Structure 1
């Protein structure tokens, strides 16, 4: 279980993030501002810090600068301003990841999960190195590093949700899934939107797979949903 510290002056956002992180198995603590944060981290650092930029008093970038003077603690920054300069400054000052508001909490949970996998690898690289890649046609999928590469070829640039969709179908080739089942498996939460979002996601992923000349495809099962097929030739 990872210990996550969430700092955001918006109580509703803090509670929403905390709910999703707790559901994912993390221990979560919340703070409404950065008062005393640096001393707290010196005394009892969490496994990961989620830090808002815009807060009363000391802002997130100032706190990031102070923390980086003594710690390599994984830090994910969030900002409602959505300015490119915020992202650039955050990354230059040493944050590990950055999300602009609004974002879905599941995306943040996924990024925390990936961050913790990387931390675990660097703490115990030999154990992690024994975990094989998933092979789908001539695609090599690293679940630990969230990377997809064509054998002896380029790496595919996938979004968070495209990777989740590809990973799901790669693990379950030839099995048909309805759109509702895809949402349940890939989104992993009660989705209240239009199931046609699955069609758009599949369309984008298909294009990237086709451009990579991978021996793997996601086919339409008419009147039902989708399934993955692997070309072994």
Structure 2
């Protein structure tokens, strides 16, 4: 049974979310604020966190920043504010999904289930060692970092240096959202002098090559922000 933590200072919303999750078979622990949250996450390691942004005392974004220093657990942020900036900041700080209030509890439950399915799928992402050195397996894609070689079901795919570097960075940070600026810092580093939209062109080329090869590794667009890597069967 998956264990879900829910944090919201509105008791009605907290109760409603908790009831819907329990009806679907989840174990739920609810919190009216974030005062005990970090310590409880460290001690109990829940499977997913639903975190409100606007709360008295420590707000959700501050808590998110702290939580991301020690765990990659799925985090869904919720907010009564319709500010696009909240969503962008939340994604930058490491939340996996964002839902604006009011929302139907069934939609939230569906998103939780989707997150947990991805976690199970990503358990197939592992580092192994062979005579050719260490390689990563992501879905049906295998990456040899020593050889800078990528195979999908045994078929090698040819990438440019930039394409390969972006692919490996995203593949080793599954489900983590990154802005275009962050990807430029990781892939181009100090050699970049152009526009950030160059990332879009690079992603487009990667998607075509991966799609042609039948890879189930995908690069998802986060509109108005950037990209993240997922595995889709």
Q: Which residue of 2 aligns with 1:60?
A: 60
User: Structure 1 pair 24/125, CA: closer, same or farther in 2 (3 Å)?
Assistant: farther
Structure 2: which 5+ residue stretches go unaligned?
Answer: 127-138, 141-210, 221-233
The count of aligned residue pairs is 136
Q: Which residue of 1 aligns with 2:48?
A: 48
Q: Which residue of 2 aligns with 1:74?
A: 74
Q: Secondary structure at the match of 1:78?
A: strand
When the two chains are superposed, the root-mean-square deviation of aligned CA atoms in Å is 2.7
Counterpart CA distance in 1 for 2:57 and 2:125 is 40
Q: Which residue of 2 aligns with 1:23?
A: 23
Counterpart CA distance in 2 for 1:63 and 1:8 is 13
Tell me whether 1:92 sits opposite 2:101 in the alignment. no
Q: State how 1:1-233 maps to structure 2 within 5 Å.
A: 1-124=1-124
The alpha carbon displacement at 1:37 in A equals 1.1
Deviations 1:73-92 (A, max 9, x none): 11000000111010000000
Counterpart CA distance in 1 for 2:2 and 2:43 is 17
Counterpart CA distance in 2 for 1:83 and 1:35 is 25
The normalised TM-score by structure 1 is 0.54
The alpha carbon displacement at 1:125 in A equals 5.9
